[in-house]
Amino acid sequence: MQNYQKELEKLLEKITKEGGVPTLLLHSCCAPCSSYVLEYLSQYFKITVFYYNPNIYPEEEYRMRVKEQERFIGLLNTRYPVAFAAGRYEPQEFYSAVKGYEAMPEGRERCFLCYELRLREAAAMAKAQGFDYFTTTLSISPLKNAVKLAEIGLKLAKEYGVSYLLSDFKKKDGYKRSVELSAEYGMYRQDYCGCIYSRQQREQEKKERALNVSEE
């Protein structure tokens, strides 16, 4: 498997040598996942955090996550400025994208379609607004497929003509750092990925765990 973290490091070295500060549209799924990524990449890029997540269920959860994302950006001290842009919240876009794959467990085709829906919106916006790069925070999660994310990102980069920043943010203790930052900033940290199916799966797992404990 290609080492995406190494690829990213090579690019960051090149950017540093050239002395410029490129613009990056960073799709974010939630404040906790964005925390380490922003701490890391804001040393090299002028970032706009793009919050486009029609997959999130229910709406109150969505509102809470957007609010937390904006609050965190406001608190974080960065070398270069970080801006925020909220996308549409039209859950039907998610349900149409994953139609026929609803029952899949987390980490399979339903998720790949969900990645693509969100990355496509980011690629389109990056193109329309003239960003140098686009990427997503999603690869920080140990539950997300970094290979699929890279495959989708590179495909969209070709389609839209904007460079995709390869990443595997969980590497170099990225995930661990995001947990530390979440605690440091007292962040709201949800226990399910986002969609109704991941919430049902998590509830089921909790029930099963509780049952196992009571049987012991």
| Residues found near ligand SF4 in the complex (CB under 6 A) | 55, 106, 110-111, 114, 193-195, 197-198
177 versus 199: smaller Cβ distance to ligand SF4 = 199
**Which residues, at least 6 apart from 167, have a Cβ–Cβ distance to it below 8 Å?**
4, 5, 8, 37, 135, 136, 139, 146, 149, 150
109-141 as b/e: b if 16+ CB within 10 A: ebbbbbbbbbbbbbbbbbbeeebbbbbbbbbbb
The minimum distance between CB 171 and ligand SF4, in angstroms, equals 20
**207: its two tokens:** 């029930």
In angstroms, what is the minimal distance from the CB of 99 to ligand SF4?
Answer: 12
Minimum Å gap between C-beta 23 and ligand SF4 is 26
What's the token pair of residue 175?
A: 């995930």
Least distance from C-beta 31 to ligand SF4, angstroms? 16
Q: 162 or 195, CB closer to ligand SF4? A: 195
Of the pair 54, 174, the CB lying nearest ligand SF4 is at 54
Q: Closer to ligand SF4 at the Cβ: 44 or 115?
A: 115
